[in-house]
Every structure is written in C-alpha cells, then in structure tokens.
Chains A and B, each alone.
Chain A
C-alpha cells in the first residue's frame, strides 16, 4: 500500500532534549516536505526536499534540521526543542513537486514541556 509513515504519533519531551521525527515513503517520490499545524494558523512549511541531498527552507525553519540521505526517508530533527515547538507535525511527499498530489503522513503530535 502506498503510504507516508511518520513516527512517533505522539511524543512528549522536555526542553533541550534532542529528538527526531521520522518520515518514510514507499512511492519512490522525489519531493518531500515537513509542515507544522497550529490552531488558528493553518499549516506552515518547515523544510522541503527536491531529491536526495537537496533540501531548502520553508517559511518557519528556525529550530529545525532535516536531512535527505535516502530517497525514501526525510527525518525532522529538533536539536534543542523549546515549548514553542509544541505542535502537530505532518510529513508529505509527491512524485516531483507540490504541483502534484501530495500524500500526507498521519501526523506527529509533539509536546515540549
């Protein structure tokens, strides 16, 4: 089954403790992207990747890192999480870009205490 898999679904952590949210797709998609969703703000793009080893910033990249060493994986790294990074995070992928149908993961609810 074609899907985008995020882990974990829920994560509670403390300020400053490094964490990684994983994202994997099995559709051989070139484009992958991370978003955060906050009440009343809609979705905001954090980072995106056009292909292996090619990444760029979205609208809210501060405090986040990404890597794309393999086509299928696009992890989101929070080196030193802060409470303002408490949010619902979504990973998405498409064949080549955002002008095609985006497939979203099921989301990761992160709470930073």
Chain B
C-alpha cells in the first residue's frame, strides 16, 4: 500500500523567511503533484513533476522531485502572508497509468507578519 507522508503537518513562519515542506512516499513512482487549498476553498494545481530531477518554480515556490530517494520538496522563499494555505502532495498510485492518486495529509502553512 502506497503511503505518502508530509512533514511538517503544521508550519508557522514569519514573513521573509525560507522554509521547506517535505513529501516522502513509500513505493516507486516518478510522478508527483503539489496542490494548494485556501481555507474553505477548493484545490488548485501548483506543480506537476513527471521525472527524476524535475524542478518547477513559480513565484516564491519551488518544487523538486528525487525519485531515487522517494522524496519531493516544496521550498518557500521569502514567505508572504498570501502563501498561507494548506499544501498537499500527491503521488501516482497507478503504476504509471496516471489515473490513481494518493494524497498526503497536507501541510497547513501560516505566514505571520
């Protein structure tokens, strides 16, 4: 059974600081996704990582994937309040057919002034 673990589950940080959210998974997969959910809202796709060594950046967020270590990171640079949200990683659980996803439990990020 595929397990997807995010760390930390709760993160409170100050504006301007840097931090990293980690996503570990338990079986072989080379496809990993990051989503953002604002309080009371739906999910928004952030990054699609489809191969070992993939790196994607948008604004203050950068995601990377190391399939050998079964690890993805979401790095936050110079955090701002608008980044406060819950971040989920999800891993392809379908042996590459791209139909089944297993999500982590999410990281609740709070950025304080």
Contacts and interface: CB of A to CB of B under 8 A. Distances in A.
Given A90-B42, A99-B50, A99-B92, A45 B105 contact: no
Contact-residue size bin, chain B (C-beta under 8 Å from the other chain): 20 to 34
Interface in A52-106: 56, 58-59, 90, 92, 96-106
Interface string B4-43: 1000000000000000000000000001010100000111
B102 interface: yes
Interface string A10-47: 00000000000000000000010101000011111100
Interface in B42-100: 42-45, 48, 50, 88, 90, 92-94, 97-100
A102 B45 contact: yes
Residue of A45, A96, A105 with most partner-chain B CB within 10 A: A45
Contacts of B106: 42
Contact of A41 (B44, B92, B105): B105
B4 to A, nearest CB: 8
A92 to B, nearest CB: 8
A44 B93 CA distance: 12
Residue of A35, A99, A100 with most partner-chain B CB within 10 A: A99
Contact of B44 (A42, A45, A99, A104): A104
Nearest to A92: B43
Contact of A98 (B33, B42, B88, B105): B33
Interface of A: 31, 33, 35, 40-45, 48, 50, 56, 58-59, 90, 92, 96-107
